[in-house]
Amino acid sequence: MLLRMRTALIAIGVIGLVAMLPAQADEGDVVAIFKLKGAMKEAPDAMGLGALLGAEEPANMFDLLKRLKEARGDKNVRAVIFEIEEAALGLGQTQELRAQVKALRAAEKDVLVFCETLHNGTLLLGSAASELVLMPRGEVSFAGLYGEGLYFKNLLDKIGVQADIIHCGAYKSAGEPMYRTGPTPEAEEQTNKILDSMFQQMIDDIADSRGLAPEKVRELVDVGMFSAKEALAAKLVDRLAYREEFVEIVKKRYGADTKVVADYGKKDKPDLDLENPFAIFKLFGDLMKGPKKSEKPAIAVVYVEGMITSGASEPSILGGSNAGSGTIRKAIAEAAADDTIKALILRVDSPGGSAIASEVICEATKRFKDSGRPFVVSMGNVAGSGGYYVATQGDAIFADPGTLTGSIGVVGGKLVTKGLWDWAGVTSHEYKRGKHCDVLNSNRPFDETERKLIETLMNRVYDEFKGRVTEGRGKKIKGELESLAGGRVYSGQQALEIGLIDRLGGFSDALKHTAGEANLGSDYELRIFPRPKTILDLIAEILGGKEKDDEFVLAANRLKASLGTGFAQAPGMAAALEAVQAIDPAKAKKLREFMIQVQLLSDENVLLVGPEVSVRLR
């Protein structure tokens, strides 16, 4: 048994070191291909053992932007091809990649986009390319934006659960799905304003890139469905070609000697001398040591991705992960303690979550900022409520025009589960010591006195939220804060106009600004915190020789984002959740957030959660 374990560890070590070694530079002209497939997470995997063992490496924005930057500065790269296969990108991510397409063209690189189907997101990205190529019989759907909010009241009614929810702010709609079957007028109003902003951005961008009048693009949207030939006639695409024909076009255009590189910028695996057994042990030994610490000046990047919860960041049964305040606080503190770190970028893609966890992260950013080093925030698809809370201390806040942000407000309450237990035939008997000891009793709704107690607590959290905004944004806020708060949600474009953010732009723009503020020029490194784990770290955790986090973080109030407890563990539930993920990933994402929100309500009762509407680009 011990021998087998050692053999397995050596094999993993060899594979891991191979993946860590740098790629060799290519010579001659190059056409670089980048495939966009499925959902795109923000941060790279902490370790990526699946990829090391031969599985397909999950896509992430950090690596993609890094590889695109390399292509932009590579004199050998003549053209970049984006091959789009059912990409599921948010509006913010699409706008960021669109900016990268423009930057590549500005660097005198041809940018070609090939797709088999065309929809809103594909067109928004591809319209900025030098040439947008569509399969001759490809499906074309350019019908505008579709938003959908899920409401769970009837589901909770069926299982005998009542949601007793309180809001601070008339526009704070995050709790509505638990006790309503549709939106309030305020929620519908703000959702329509967001969709108006997003829709206009899409129309204007496509019109500008395709050389069409905005009114003409709106007419095309109202047509909605096109054949490939009709899309070509409408100037939505530049060329129709099957994949094989497209390959021939590329060969003729750039010459037979030009290298077409499908994995441009990825790390190569060097040849190993397998005839020398000692070489394997040397590789394994080097891997166990981990990468040598660099002394070059660097910018730290910390990700807040997913629902914000207390404790550690962990993967979810429905994909993605939570943003654990313990993991993130420790990462920021580690970056702050490193003298080679000259600035911090917090990349936020989160609808919010726990008020306490959001405050933990916010305070960690403030402590970094107090060290005198630049602290910059880059927002992804969404940075709402707690996602905005953690951004408030930024010296500069960047967001894409379509980013969802704001939602300054508080939601709280509890779930009354007595009907569920009555249905199941379970009874209970209560014991009390203290007037308000059962304020969070799940057997009944709040009474009038208890409701006032909870409202007092929530108003205090709301005031603290607004205090953090005032502390961080100060006179940048344009107008009276309360009229901008109350749970109101904004697009990045709208947030810029009222001073909730400083600039429009993606991660690359935030990085350029940060490097300038830190006086780093171009000679610096990017380091992700927490640092990726080595094989040695993994072994230490498995064998119990190393804590996964510090003793305070993993104490009370830890939420498992894997949803390994509660109703997700019921017979058949895991399989049902996997089925939802396969059938409708967008709804699965909202379901995951809903389930985490239910768990958070049970644990904390006061939350900073943002908008509940999912806007699709396809």
User: What's the CATH code of the domain at 76?
Assistant: 3.90.226.10
Strands (E), 306-371: 308-309, 323-324, 341-350, 352-354
Q: What amino acid is encoded at 434 in this protein?
A: G
Query: Considering the chain, what is the average pLDDT of its residues?
Result: 82
- DSSP per residue over 96-156, as a string? HHHHHHHHHHHTT-EEEEEESSB-HHHHHHHTTSSEEEE-TT--EEE---EEEE---HHHH
Cα dihedral sign, 104-105-109-110: positive
Residue 390's SS3 state is coil
Is 342 part of a structural domain of the chain? Answer: yes
> Are residues 142 and 254 located together in one domain of the fold?
yes
Q: Which of 332, 334, 331, 387 is nearest to 358 (CA)?
A: 387
> Are residues 314 and 220 located together in one domain of the fold?
no
Query: What pLDDT digit, counting tens, does each position of 149-162 carry?
Result: 888 899 889 889 89
Residue 52's SS3 state is helix
How confident is the model at residue 600, as a pLDDT?
72
Q: Are 78 and 258 in contact (CB under 8 A)?
A: yes
> Are residues 373 and 244 located together in one domain of the fold?
no
Is 253 part of a structural domain of the chain? Answer: yes
Strands 613-616 and 146-149: antiparallel
Is 10 part of a structural domain of the chain? Answer: no
Is 12 part of a structural domain of the chain? Answer: no
How confident is the model at residue 38, as a pLDDT?
79
Cα 18 to Cα 274: distance, rounded to the nearest angstrom: 13
> Are residues 397 and 513 located together in one domain of the fold?
yes
> Are residues 251 and 326 located together in one domain of the fold?
no
| Token pair for 29 | 């002209």
| Token pair for 421 | 């237990």
Is 281 part of a structural domain of the chain? Answer: no
Q: Please give the torsion angle defined by the CA atoms of residues 336, 337, 341 and 342, in that order, rounded to the nearest 10 degrees.
A: 60
> Are residues 536 and 482 located together in one domain of the fold?
yes
How confident is the model at residue 580, as a pLDDT?
56
CA-to-CA dists, residue 76 to 70, 534, 570, 593, angstroms = 11, 34, 56, 45
Q: How many residues does the chain have?
A: 618
How confident is the model at residue 586, as a pLDDT?
61
Cα 467 to Cα 427: distance, rounded to the nearest angstrom: 45
Domain that holds residue 357: 298-425+445-616
Query: Which among 237, 261, 285 is the end of a domain?
Result: 261
Q: What proportion of the chain, given as a percentage, has pLDDT over 90?
A: 48
Cα 392 to Cα 468: distance, rounded to the nearest angstrom: 6
pTM above 0.85, yes or no: no
Domain count, the chain: 2
Q: Which of 598, 615, 614 is nearest to 353 (CA)?
A: 598
Burial-class residue 107 by CB neighbours within 10 Å (0-12, 13-18, 19+).
middle
> Are residues 303 and 408 located together in one domain of the fold?
yes
| Token pair for 117 | 């189907």
Q: Which of 455, 356, 382, 361 is nearest to 412 (CA)?
A: 455
Is 284 part of a structural domain of the chain? Answer: no
177: cis peptide before it, omega within 30°? no
The strand pairing partners of 252, in sequence order, are: none
The strand pairing partners of 352, in sequence order, are: 609
How confident is the model at residue 407, as a pLDDT?
93
Strands 323-324 and 375-384: unpaired
Q: Are 611 and 404 in contact (CB under 8 A)?
A: yes
Side-chain-facing half-sphere of 162: CA atoms under 13 Å: 11
Q: Cα-flanking dihedrals φ and ψ of residue 588, to 5°? A: -60, -40
Cα 327 to Cα 335: distance, rounded to the nearest angstrom: 12
Cα dihedral sign, 134-139-143-145: negative
Residue 434's SS3 state is coil
Is 119 part of a structural domain of the chain? Answer: yes
| Token pair for 285 | 């030994």
> Are residues 238 and 313 located together in one domain of the fold?
no
Cα 600 to Cα 615: distance, rounded to the nearest angstrom: 24
> Are residues 331 and 393 located together in one domain of the fold?
yes
Residue 457's SS3 state is helix
How confident is the model at residue 238, as a pLDDT?
95
- Helix (H), strand (E) at residue 111: strand 110-115
Q: How far is CA 135 from the centre of its chain?
A: 31
Say which residues have a Cβ less than 8 Å from residue 296's Cβ, sequence separation at least 6.
340, 523, 524, 525
- Could you state, in chain order, the average pLDDT of each consecutive group of 10 residues for the chain (618 residues)? 38 37 57 88 67 56 92 94 85 93 96 92 94 92 86 89 86 87 90 92 95 95 93 95 92 89 73 54 55 84 93 68 90 95 97 92 96 97 95 97 94 86 83 84 89 90 94 93 93 96 96 96 91 60 51 39 44 55 60 72 72 60
> Are residues 305 and 213 located together in one domain of the fold?
no
Tell me the chain's radius of gyration from C-alpha atoms.
26
Cα 179 to Cα 192: distance, rounded to the nearest angstrom: 21
> Are residues 419 and 555 located together in one domain of the fold?
yes
Is 11 part of a structural domain of the chain? Answer: no
- Helix (H), strand (E) at residue 303: strand 298-305
> Are residues 469 and 339 located together in one domain of the fold?
yes
| Token pair for 268 | 């190569």
Tabulate helix, strand, coil % of the chain (nearest 5): 45, 20, 35
Q: What amino acid is encoded at 394 in this protein?
A: G
DSSP-H helix ranges across 481-528: 481-484, 492-498, 507-517
Residue 198's SS3 state is helix
| Token pair for 428 | 């209970």
Query: Which among 246, 261, 276 is the end of a domain?
Result: 261
